[in-house]
Structure 1
Amino acid sequence: MTPRSLRAAALSVHLLTATGAVFAMLAMLAAVQEQWQTMFLWLVVAFVVDGIDGPLARKTDVGRNAPEFDGVLMDLIIDYLTYVFIPAYALFSTDLLPGWTGWVAILVITYASVVYFADTRMKTEDKSFSGFPGCWNMVVIVFFALTPPPMVILPVVVVLAVLMFLPVKFVHPVRTKRWRLVTLPAAGLWVLSATIAAVTGFSLSGWAEWALIATSVWLLCAGALQQVIPGRRAP
């Protein structure tokens, strides 16, 4: 590719990343109107964009070919909106956590997450995350689909917030190479089952419910399992 075409490709990746802000606004507008299905569908779209823009950014080398825009900063801003801020608002605005429990959850989620997102140590050498990566969008849609009681939801929120700052690894479905042949399809199945949950009004049953549970557990626990199970050493 010519330098001009490389620059055009890199700029197009930045523009793709920026669409996440639009999807975040559409999700927030739906949340304010308590249209939870629509909100989560927009969050799923933003999640998919976030999954594909990274590999495209590395392929087009945006840092070299379009350096005037900071793609990492753009991504972090959008991630905080779609992964943290909007899901926390949704959890607070429903009956899943009534009264003071909702206040505790929304304050813990937003405060802990902004500190974590600013932590320069959040990535490990194998491109995983050190600590829970603040994927509250994934957690909250599971809460909506399974509707556990507040005595389950609030402790889960607190434990995950604490795990943000502990040396527990969480895999990146795309960038963590170890077990990627399992983790990447699991992430795709999670997106499918989460989309079905949103479309059906969070009335999952059968394989879709079990798929959402199983893939959520795997994505949460795979990194910690990698820390316990030693990997194969390179020759």
Structure 2
Amino acid sequence: MKKYLYLLPHALTLTGLALAMLTIMAAFEGRFDAAARFSLLVLLIDRLDGTLARRLAVRKHFPSISGESLDMITDLVGLTLAPMILFWRSGLFLDGFGAVLACASGMVASYKYSRKETFLSSGYSVGAPPIFFSVFLFYFLKLPPVYPTAYTVFLIILVLSPMKYPITSLVTTHWKPGYKSVTNYLTIIFFVPVFIYLQSAPAVIYWTMLLAIIVQLTVYPFLLSFKIIKPVFDRNS
């Protein structure tokens, strides 16, 4: 019986996938607050399941199950497709852009995930990570549609760009002190008020998160280029 406790991380990952499907259904039904909360739970699970799997050495006990594959599927559906469908259905984007951006983000994220192993082995990512979940910050801030639309287009361009990015918590889960884990820590610190209050939470929370992400998207590649940040990644951390 104890052996099956090691399946807990995989069960968490699959729960995230189920929550992603609930996000999509709620979005099409117009229950946007419910969809947002389902989606936030997907994000929370994503921040925990991989770390738990490494702590429990799940691969050693169940080598026939690919946690990486499960995680990649859940990331694509739960952190890209489901939230982008929510943004589209809720009218976050400019008229005529919602469906296009939802489809484009799914395609771009799929391409990016297909190259993840190469990035992890090299210690850096070519192109920005497909963090389309970050568009939630515009949803919560209730900014005019032009801003989330422009940000999403800009993010798609960065993901496809040849710019090199260090492996931080934007790319994969990190829980070590320092710059690599900044978005993970902010996510956990702000999760409860965001989950409870959504768009009514203090705007400073969302502006802080947005600033941290923009810095990582625009400044970190230059820090890597000038060797201020080293392209090193320990996949066991």
TM superposition score category, shorter chain reference = 0.7 to 0.9
Ranges in structure 2 where 5+ consecutive residues have no aligned partner: 231-237
The offset of 1:197, in angstroms, is 4.1
Aligned-residue Cα RMSD (Å) equals 3.0
Instruction: Give the corresponding residue for 2:224.
Output: 227
Q: 1:11 to 1:220 in 2, by over 3 A?
A: same
Q: 1:223 to 1:125 in 2, by over 3 A?
A: farther
Q: Is the 8 A contact 1:128 1:176 kept in 2?
A: no
Letter of the 1:149 counterpart: P
From 62, 65, 86, give the equivalent of 1:66.
62
The offset of 1:62, in angstroms, is 2.4
Q: 1:117 to 1:183 in 2, by over 3 A?
A: closer
Instruction: Give the corresponding residue for 2:210.
Output: 213
From 18, 24, 43, give the equivalent of 2:20.
24
Q: 1:152 to 1:180 in 2, by over 3 A?
A: same
From 52, 56, 59, give the equivalent of 2:52.
56
The offset of 1:105, in angstroms, is 1.4
Q: Is the 8 A contact 1:24 1:46 kept in 2?
A: yes
Aligned positions of 1:1-235 closer than 5 A: 5=2, 7-120=3-116, 123-125=119-121, 129-137=125-133, 139-165=134-160, 166-169=162-165, 171-173=167-169, 180-193=177-190, 196-205=193-202, 207-221=204-218, 223-231=220-228
Identical columns (%): 18
Q: 1:111 to 1:189 in 2, by over 3 A?
A: same
Deviates more, 1:46-55 or 1:192-201: 192-201
Task: Pick the structure with greater CA Rg.
Answer: 1
Work out the CA distance in 1 between the residues paired with 2:51 and 2:123.
Answer: 13
Q: Is the 8 A contact 2:168 2:179 kept in 1?
A: no
Letter of the 1:162 counterpart: I
Q: How many residues are paired up?
A: 227
Tell me the TM-score normalized by structure 2.
0.79
Deviates more, 1:79-88 or 1:119-128: 119-128
Work out the CA distance in 1 between the residues paired with 2:79 and 2:57.
Answer: 25
The offset of 1:82, in angstroms, is 1.0
Q: 1:208 to 1:175 in 2, by over 3 A?
A: closer
Q: 1:85 to 1:53 in 2, by over 3 A?
A: same
Letter of the 1:39 counterpart: A
Give a deviation string over 1:153-187, Cα, whole Å, max 9, x none. Answer: 3232122112223233154327558x842453543
Work out the CA distance in 1 between the residues paired with 2:147 and 2:118.
Answer: 27
Work out the CA distance in 1 between the residues paired with 2:193 and 2:219.
Answer: 24
**Equivalent position SS for 2:200:** coil
Q: Is the 8 A contact 2:23 2:86 kept in 1?
A: no
Q: Is the 8 A contact 2:47 2:173 kept in 1?
A: no
Work out the CA distance in 2 between the residues paired with 1:147 and 1:121.
Answer: 36
